[in-house]
């Protein structure tokens, strides 16, 4: 089991410090990060928490999944590794059509 957890359904008002403190009850927190919008800087409503051990990660999932934080019921599960390239919005989408028509 990975020690990295996905945390969804976060309140837009939840701080990284509050997220870290909530998960610290399950064990050592190595890192807590809330993902924010590149343009606005506002929270996107999810984040990641890296726990110190697999046991702490399991305990965090069982105790924090469905738990309330800032009035929202959290969704917590093991984070999936990010797919490299090829996904929607990833890089080039192929050749762009020319504005000039060729006959």
Annotated domain spans of the chain: 4-78
CB-CB neighbours of 44 under 10 Å: 14
The domain 4-78 belongs to what CATH superfamily?
Answer: RRM (RNA recognition motif) domain (3.30.70.330)
Q: What string of pLDDT tens digits covers the 103 residues of the chain? A: 789 999 999 999 999 999 999 999 999 999 999 999 999 999 999 999 999 999 999 999 999 999 999 999 999 999 988 777 655 555 555 555 555 555 5
Contacts of residue 101, Cβ cutoff 8 Å, sequence gap at least 6: none
pTM: 0.78
Measure Cα distances from 8 to 45, 64, 92, 95, 97 in Å.
6, 11, 29, 36, 39
């Amino acid at each position: 089991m990975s020690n990295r957890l996905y945390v969804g359904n976060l309140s837009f008002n939840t701080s990284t410090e509050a997220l870290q403190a909530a998960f610290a009850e399950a064990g050592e927190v190595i890192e807590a990060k809330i993902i924010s919008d590149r343009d606005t800087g506002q929270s996107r409503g999810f984040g990641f928490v890296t726990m110190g051990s697999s046991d702490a990660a399991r305990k965090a999932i069982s105790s924090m999944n469905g738990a309330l934080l800032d009035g929202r019921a959290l969704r917590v599960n093991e984070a999936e590794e990010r797919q490299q390239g090829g996904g929607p919005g990833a890089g080039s989408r192929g050749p762009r059509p020319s504005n000039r028509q060729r006959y």
